[in-house]
């Protein structure tokens, strides 16, 4: 599985179109995603304090079946490799959409459904 932190508006649009896409796809040519162990740092680094986000769990094998390219590319700023998705994500590849918990400090923690998987 790979994970995408999604803005609620993008998720709602996906319900209408059948495909998830975000601004980074048109701006950079790919959708940023994360491995599970990277999710909290990404959420807190880029979405701290926001309550209008959720976590999409994507089945990478379903992306492959749909011919959606995924490449792990090095992000120097984070000193790690991240999955990049080079096309809109069909809803069939999204296993579940999970709400993010935000603490009083504005920091996000993994949804309880995923805490044991890290």
pLDDT at 104 over 90: no
pLDDT at res. 80: 97
pLDDT at res. 110: 87
pLDDT at res. 118: 62
Contact 27, 91 (CB under 8 A): no
**Residue 94 — φ and ψ, nearest 5°?**
-95, 110
Residue 102 pLDDT level (bands cut at 50, 70, 90): confident
2-102 placed in CATH 3.40.50.150: no
pLDDT at res. 36: 96
3-state secondary structure the chain: CEEEEEEHHHHHHHHHHCEECCHHHHHHCCEECECHHHHHHHHHHHCCCCCCEEEEEECHHHHHHCCCCEEEEEECCCCEEEEEECCCEEHHHEEEEEECEECCCCCEECCHHHHHHC
Residue 60's region, left for phi above 0, alpha for psi from -120 to 50, else beta, is alpha
Q: What is the mean pLDDT of the chain?
A: 93
* Residues 45-93 pLDDT 10s: 999 888 899 999 999 999 999 999 999 999 999 999 999 999 999 999 9
pLDDT at res. 56: 97
Where exactly are the structural domains of the chain? 2-102
What average pLDDT does the segment 26-50 reach? 94
pLDDT at res. 69: 97
Write out the two tokens for 70: 């995924």
What is the distance between the alpha carbons of residues 38 and 23, in angstroms, rounded to a whole number? 20
Q: pTM for this one? A: 0.93
């Amino acid at each position: 599985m790979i994970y995408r932190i999604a803005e609620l508006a993008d998720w709602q649009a996906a319900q209408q179109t059948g495909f998830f896409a975000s601004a980074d796809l048109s701006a950079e040519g790919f959708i940023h995603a994360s491995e599970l162990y990277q999710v909290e740092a990404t959420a807190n680094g880029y979405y701290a304090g926001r309550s209008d986000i959720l976590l999409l769990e994507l089945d990478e094998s379903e992306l492959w079946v749909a011919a959606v390219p995924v490449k792990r590319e090095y992000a120097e700023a984070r000193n790690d490799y991240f999955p990049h998705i080079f096309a809109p994500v069909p809803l069939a590849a999204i296993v579940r959409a999970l709400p993010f918990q935000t603490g009083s400090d504005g920091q996000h923690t993994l949804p309880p459904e995923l805490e044991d998987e890290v």
